[in-house]
Amino acid sequence: MRRRTGLTHAAVAAALLIGSWAAAGTLPASAQEVPASAAADASAPASPALLDAMRRDLGLTRAEAEARLAAEQRATALLPTARKTAGSAYGGSWFDARSGELTVAVTPDADATTVRTLRESGAAVRTVEHTERQLNSAKSSLDRLDAPAGVASWAVDPAANTVVVNVVEDARTDNDVRAFVRKARAAGPVTVRTVADAPSTFAAGTVGGDPYYTGNVRCSIGFSVHGGFVTAGHCGGAGQQVRGWDGSYIGNFQGSSFPDNDYAWVNVGSGWWTVPVVLGWGTVSDQLVRGSAEAPVDASICRSGSTTHWHCGTVLAKNETVNYAQGAVHQMTKTSVCAEGGDSGGSFISGDQAQGVTSGGWGNCSSGGETWFQPVNEILNRYGLTLHTA
């Protein structure tokens, strides 16, 4: 890639954002220092700066943030075994931040041995009416409906043991919205909640900053994979050229899907290469990516993007269908993390585990809001990609 003389601090940060650093010439000092600082102590729960970000966005003390990360790691590791143990009685699971435990829901069909095994493994157990299979079936029925603009999204809420339909507050009395809700209730257990605004994607027109560009659209890199990076599908269609922060050619969209999905991947060449790093923007140390184990509902999660940089929150829901103006997108994960235009495609990470790429949401990082991401493992499986890990 072409190098620019007199690089500003922001421009150097932009180079790191790409996760695909320039090969030509000597790397800036800050770029050379990233791997060492990010990997200073792989056994530590998190860098001091990451803990500070969790204190800021989640209202935790340093000790509470460290304890939460450790508990979430245990819960994430336990989740596959707990699901298998519960079997056909499985009603979903989530991380309980107050107890620091993975809570596993089971129906009354679960026998005493199953419940005892779950508890002995370290999980809390709650009895619910509906299995996850029943809730997912009801949610799938909603996916086949035509949703009006006033319906923001819908997803299974395991803790509430219901399918939650989120309706834009100003559209509650709309006749089309009411008709959708009636059909939804007929499909199974449904709860209606209101949200402040309709979701939209977070792409942005070309502005100054730390971007990658497709035409006049600015988006953010998600995660490096061998041969390229993953990002949001609404940022560009297959075959479109991608330019880096300095305007130099990186590669092309090799695959892209939006709506229905919101994922894409871009090949990397022309002097760019990939590294397993998520940019911390000076708020936290640049984070090494070590895997893609899926965090449970209510776990903490952070996002990196080219507009609003680094922010943290929690996982609110999984497998949510989001009704954008361009069409519905399925199998999304909802979070309490804020985002703004230009953050699309950026990284969602929990600890050192890649979670997904930013799709859209509502609100902003001044007043707050919610965001959705497309899970990274789905993207890797769809395109046969391998995550670049440290």
Catalytic residue among 153, 224, 344, 347: 344
Annotated catalytic residue within 96, 157, 210, 262:
262
**344 part of the active site:** yes
Residues facing residue 92 across a β-bridge: 105
Q: Which of 281, 250, 252, 276 is nearest to 343 (CA)?
A: 281
Residue in 234, 309, 311, 388 annotated catalytic: 234
**Does residue 256 carry a catalytic annotation?**
no
d(CA 343, CA 118): 40
Residues with catalytic function: 234, 262, 344
